[in-house]
Amino acid sequence: MTISLIGLDADDTLWHSEDGFHTVTGRFCELLQPYAQDPSNLATTLDMVERRNMALFGYGVKSFTLSMVEAAIEVSGGAVPAETIQQLVDEGRTLLARPVDLLEGVEEALAAIAARYRLVVITKGDLLHQEQKLARSGLAELFWHIEIISEKDEPTYERILERHDIDRNRFVMVGNSVRSDILPVLAIGARAVHIPAALVWTYEHADHDGSVPTLRSIRDLPHWLASTAATAA
Amino acid sequence: MTISLIGLDADDTLWHSEDGFHTVTGRFCELLQPYAQDPSNLATTLDMVERRNMALFGYGVKSFTLSMVEAAIEVSGGAVPAETIQQLVDEGRTLLARPVDLLEGVEEALAAIAARYRLVVITKGDLLHQEQKLARSGLAELFWHIEIISEKDEPTYERILERHDIDRNRFVMVGNSVRSDILPVLAIGARAVHIPAALVWTYEHADHDGSVPTLRSIRDLPHWLASTAATAA
């Protein structure tokens, strides 16, 4: 069936994101090194604290920053000085304020497909921060709707399609996370295109069975859509 | 013109919220008292740090918790121990997890009006937390749509009415905050009903000119709607 709506993930599909968390995690390890009871374990503990907090805190930089504060206290056995905690909060603030760095080819690819399809951003994370990144990206005008959600699961994708009265056969989701952008979309009977990113947060790690269309870059998306349309016709 | 859509604020209109921030602010003052350079100034400094962070952090408990951490370091000149910072993060966690405590008369009032009007929750704050509170409230089924937004300003109200194809003459917003629920709604030419709450966050403080319908309790909303409909007929 002909595609009428394209869902696009934002973080690490339209712009760089994970690299920022990666850099700040490095900074966390550096800052906590002098106070750590087990300096080999710093990034692992931070990751564990994040996962523990996920159900209550949710995704995004503010949750990550609160988890850094807790992990700092934990790895240091309470010995971390307030000054270091302030540095961690400042790292979070820098992450929230940093400019949007689009992935290569995003502007051209979106301009090419926006003329033929309705585009919707479907992103999870912090409401205000995702809105701010969209505004900074210069891409907002290309989208029919913006969907900022707390979890990318089957009911959420179903609700989005229902709300916009879109048949699941006419929807394709494009993103870098197999766990969030691919598997739940396939599960509701819609299509998905995987564009792997250079860095993947371990929390998002999952595999698909290899049958999912996988592109090297968003540059290849207009061509994939054109050839899919030709096959359907 | 006949009313067809009623917007309802959530925090301190449907359920208690500000009392939690109030209690935790008291706890902040208690915990920081021994380390403070000026113990008379604790709540004021926290409020100042919150306002300073608002544009980047936005509303909600996670932002408030990050501001508590920063304010603790600030008022103590860096002398606050990690243990106290952990206690502040735990206070934030308790605030996120606490059960929803409905205001008196909410269930009856909403049940009475849900049969005649479409109801939309319009609330700002943290996406995940507001969703969780709605789920815990047991009220979710009564609403046609849930709108969780980052700021309650004129463009946002306009966008909500446009998205649902509702004429502004047919919309009335009900809430406790003059700044967020009343003034921007009047500014776009729609109607608003003010139901003052016992506690008002200083950030939300504003006055209306006295011409806005003001109810003592949400219990009075069904009657107000009925008499407004009678006048319009």
A123 interfacial to chain B (CB closer than 8 Å): no
- Chain position carrying tokens 């003034």: B183
Q: Which residues sit opposite B119 in a β-bridge?
A: B6
E-state strands within chain B: 5-8, 118-124, 145-149, 171-175, 191-194
Which pLDDT does position B201 carry in this prediction?
78
Say what the ipTM of the complex is: 0.92
Average pLDDT on A52-73 reads 97
How close A127 gets to chain B, by Cα (Å)?
6
Specify whether B87 is located in the same domain as B166: no
Of B97, B113, B129, which closes a domain?
A: B97
Q: Give residue A117's region: left, alpha or beta (phi > 0; psi -120 to 50).
A: beta
Specify whether A213 is located in the same domain as A188: yes
Q: What is the pTM of this model?
A: 0.94
How close B19 gets to chain A, by Cα (Å)?
20
Q: What is the pLDDT of residues B34-62, one digit of tens each?
A: 999 888 999 999 999 999 999 999 999 99
Residue A75 contacts residue A45 (beta carbons within 8 Å): yes
Which pLDDT does position B221 carry in this prediction?
97
Specify whether B152 is located in the same domain as B201: yes
Q: Which residues sit opposite B120 in a β-bridge?
A: B7, B145
Tally of domains in chain B: 2
Specify whether A151 is located in the same domain as A175: yes
DSSP secondary structure string for all residues of A149-204: ES---HHHHHHHHHHTT--GGGEEEEES-IIIIIHHHHHTT-EEEE---S---GGG
Specify whether A111 is located in the same domain as A195: yes
Contact B83 A79 (CB under 8 A): no
Torsion over CA of B147, B148, B153 and B158, rounded to 10 degrees?
Answer: -20
Specify whether A91 is located in the same domain as A119: no
Specify whether B107 is located in the same domain as B216: yes
Specify whether A74 is located in the same domain as A151: no
Specify whether A160 is located in the same domain as A179: yes
Determine the Cα–Cα distance for residues A104 and A7; give it in Å rounded to an integer.
19
Point out the residue among B58, B62, B72 whose CB comes nearest to the CB of A66: B62
Specify whether A12 is located in the same domain as A29: no
Sheet holding A191-194, edge to edge: A145-149, A118-124, A5-8, A171-175, A191-194
Per-residue pLDDT for B166 more than 80? yes
Average pLDDT score over chain B:
94
What range does the domain containing A200 cover?
A: 5-16+101-232
Specify whether B87 is located in the same domain as B106: no
Whole-number Cα distances in Å, B120 to A104, A182, B9:
40, 31, 9
Q: What is the pLDDT of residues A17-29, one digit of tens each?
A: 999 999 999 999 9
Residues of chain B by 3-state class (helix, strand, coil), percent to 5:
55, 10, 30
CATH number at residue A80: 1.10.150.240
